[in-house]
Chains A and B, each alone.
Chain A
Amino acid sequence: MKQIDKPLALPIQKIITESERVKTFVFEYDFPGGPGQFVMCWIPGFDEKPFGIIKKDGEGFRISVAAVGESTKAMHMMEEGDLLGFRGPYGSVFTLPEDGKKIAMVAGGYGMVPLSYLAQEARKKEYEVHLFIGARNKQELLFKEWMAEIGALVHASTDDGSEGYKGFNTDLFKSNAENETYDKVYTVGPEIMEMKIAQICWEKNIPFEVSLERYMKCGFGICGQCSVDPTGWRMCVEGPVIDGEALKKIAEFGKYHRTASGEVQKYPWIKE
């Protein structure tokens, strides 16, 4: 697998509107990359931002982008045929358990991006996949149909109760895990959600992996921007996928992250 480190300009082949907030951009190019890895996407004239890669069967690759700020909103204004530049793939990949075939995934927001790709790969190898997708409402539950198609078992939860369990997917997972035994759990989403899942897995001794997002600049391990305390591991090289045991060593997990200047910023739920 060859990593591309100088942006490769690619035309957008197809744009799919997934929901009010999320659009998917499909490319013909067979870009390398496994579940959990990300690309640096150059939006000319704006910025370059990290996005998880999905390689859906029969396609080159795709990214799904939530419009949250200036560059992602600019992407949502783009049209088929417009060019985006790509470097990558960067970072570590999720690994499926060797013993046991039953896995759970807990996804919040665009956390479904790497997890849907992982679910696809896991289903090909005949794993039983339980997906706990959480979103604000029914429309924001990403890739539900695709996941059902590949035979993943979807446990939806929404904040407003418009579909599935009304409340947090962490609570739904917690009560589910009282009766079910999973060989491995995967979680990607807001860090507060990942923290709750990590707590449950540590308590129950379930092996798990999280994807830990930090501000990215180079993506290939030299600027040090995405290093975590106190290990210094780079989330663009040693991460973003981190094993539950290794995660115990990352003291900043759930507490703080660094901004573009390198300054530490505490999460809102952390008090002095």
Chain B
Amino acid sequence: MANLSVNLAGISLQNPTVLASGIMGVSSSSLKFVEENGAGAVTLKSIGPTERPGHKNPTVFAWREGIQNAVGLSNPGIENSIEKITTSVTQLDIPVFGSMFADTIDNFKRVGEKMASTGVAAIEVNLSCPNTEDDFGRMFALDTKMTSDLIKAVKSVVGDIPIFAKLSADSSEIVEVGKAAEAAGADAITAINTISGVVIDINMKRPILTNKVGGVSGPAIKPMGVRAVWNLYNSVKIPIIGTGGINTGEDAIEYIMAGATAIGIGSGVYYRGIDVFKKVTEEMSRFMEENRYKSVEEMRGIAHKAS
């Protein structure tokens, strides 16, 4: 096995695969199950200020190239989640990242402060859920000023815990937003969240999802994810967790060559099974051995050097 360890904003990971937020993150047991299947780190499902059952089903469906979801940020609320997060942190041997969302900056601060007390290795700020516009209005990540104010505010309440800003490729300004997040003190960027879409069932004559609009993930969005990382890498110095459509070791390496330090896997759990983390790391290792790369670092951003 090649050496796959990476340093992500001061956090050392045995391998660069990170479970993306919203997948398998409902309980500490399910996260432990992900750890047993080879993840380098896990991200919890986004938690907000109060309990939400989420949207009604259909909330998720899949086809060969993609998954569409509008789960609607179902979660038990931060108060009910503290114990669960603390348990996850103690039960898992790998780093556990919290993830949070809220409607206002004040609520983000409230959730952030509580989450910081649980011992998570980092907190991802979900600026970019595309599925709750009716409840929360436009996503933060579409606007540089809002992103900057929010990151500063969160930073002020979480002490030394690293903050990841999770961005959306729905914004054509993703690079500007990324720069704003960095300037405001974000320690890393996660890119990308799902991309907003509509899928209609022509027999039913209506969109499939109850929310009508939902985020697309999986292989369908990989080129957009790689583009986001590619552009961000040229403009920010903080590390990037490249996410979107990673199913194989080759996909992961593509993101790393575009400039990612670590890579997020969500839909891959569907496409390749819960042991997708093991499979991806083994495939990465094989590629690295065959091509004589000694470290992940050596491959990072390498595609930018092509003339």
Give the B-binding residues of A (Cβ under 8 A).
Answer: 5-7, 9, 40, 42, 44-49, 83, 85, 87, 217-225, 227-234, 237, 258-263
Contact A233 B33 (CB under 8 A): yes
Q: In the complex, given contacts A224-B26, A228-B29, what are 12 additional A-B residue pairs having Cβ atoms less than 8 angstroms apart? A: A6-B61, A40-B57, A42-B208, A218-B60, A218-B270, A222-B270, A223-B71, A227-B26, A229-B27, A260-B54, A261-B76, A263-B80
| CB nearest to B273 among chain A residues | A221
Give the A-binding residues of B (Cβ under 8 A).
Answer: 22-27, 29-34, 45, 51-54, 56-63, 67, 69, 71, 74-77, 80, 201, 203-204, 206, 208, 210, 266-267, 269-270, 273-274
Chain A positions within 8 Å of B33 at CB level: 227, 231-233
Contact B61 A222 (CB under 8 A): no
Contact A6 B60 (CB under 8 A): no
| CB nearest to B74 among chain A residues | A261
Contact B203 A230 (CB under 8 A): no
Known: A221-B274, A222-B266, A223-B23. Contact between A261 and B63, CB under 8 A? no
Chain A positions within 8 Å of B58 at CB level: 7, 40, 42, 47-48, 85
A150 to chain B, nearest CB (A): 34
Chain B positions within 8 Å of A47 at CB level: 56-58, 210
CA distance A218 to B57 in the complex (A): 9
A247 to chain B, nearest CB (A): 15
Known: A42-B58, A229-B27. Contact between A263 and B270, CB under 8 A? no
Contact A222 B204 (CB under 8 A): no
Contact A222 B75 (CB under 8 A): no
| CB nearest to B23 among chain A residues | A222
B139 to chain A, nearest CB (A): 21
Chain B positions within 8 Å of A218 at CB level: 59-60, 69, 270
Contact A223 B60 (CB under 8 A): yes
Chain A positions within 8 Å of B56 at CB level: 46-48
CA distance A224 to B25 in the complex (A): 6
Chain B positions within 8 Å of A262 at CB level: 26-27, 45, 74-76
Contact B30 A234 (CB under 8 A): yes
Contact B76 A222 (CB under 8 A): no
A5 to chain B, nearest CB (A): 4
Which residue, A9, A40, A218, has most C-beta atoms of chain B within 10 A?
A218
Contact A9 B204 (CB under 8 A): yes
CA distance A49 to B71 in the complex (A): 14
Chain A positions within 8 Å of B203 at CB level: 9, 83
Complex A-B: 27 CB contacts under 8 Å: A7-B201, A9-B201, A44-B204, A47-B57, A48-B57, A48-B59, A48-B210, A49-B57, A83-B203, A85-B204, A87-B61, A217-B59, A217-B71, A218-B60, A218-B270, A220-B60, A221-B269, A222-B60, A223-B22, A224-B24, A224-B25, A225-B74, A229-B27, A231-B33, A258-B27, A261-B77, A263-B76
| CB nearest to B76 among chain A residues | A263
Chain A positions within 8 Å of B22 at CB level: 223
Contact A223 B57 (CB under 8 A): no
CA distance A254 to B93 in the complex (A): 29
Contact A231 B54 (CB under 8 A): no
CA distance A148 to B146 in the complex (A): 68
Contact A232 B204 (CB under 8 A): no
Chain A positions within 8 Å of B59 at CB level: 48, 217-218, 223
Contact A220 B62 (CB under 8 A): yes
CA distance A45 to B53 in the complex (A): 18
Query: Which 9 A-B pairs rank lowest in CB-CB distance, beginning with the nearest?
Result: A232-B33, A48-B57, A227-B30, A9-B203, A224-B24, A232-B29, A5-B62, A224-B26, A263-B76
| CB nearest to B19 among chain A residues | A224
B81 to chain A, nearest CB (A): 9
Chain B positions within 8 Å of A6 at CB level: 61-63, 208
Which residue, A47, A217, A233, has most C-beta atoms of chain B within 10 A?
A217
| CB nearest to B68 among chain A residues | A6
Contact B208 A7 (CB under 8 A): yes
Known: A222-B266, A227-B33, A261-B54. Contact between A5 and B61, CB under 8 A? yes
Known: A263-B51, A263-B76. Contact between A5 and B63, CB under 8 A? yes
Known: A222-B269, A229-B29, A258-B26. Contact between A44 and B67, CB under 8 A? no
CA distance A9 to B208 in the complex (A): 10
Which residue, A7, A223, A263, has most C-beta atoms of chain B within 10 A?
A223
CA distance A233 to B23 in the complex (A): 14
Which residue, B22, B30, B269, has most C-beta atoms of chain A within 10 A?
B30
Chain B positions within 8 Å of A7 at CB level: 58, 61, 201, 204, 208
Chain A positions within 8 Å of B29 at CB level: 227-232
| CB nearest to B27 among chain A residues | A227
CA distance A52 to B58 in the complex (A): 17
CA distance A45 to B201 in the complex (A): 13
Contact A223 B210 (CB under 8 A): no
Chain A positions within 8 Å of B273 at CB level: 221
Chain A positions within 8 Å of B67 at CB level: 222
| CB nearest to B270 among chain A residues | A222
| CB nearest to B50 among chain A residues | A261
Contact B26 A225 (CB under 8 A): yes
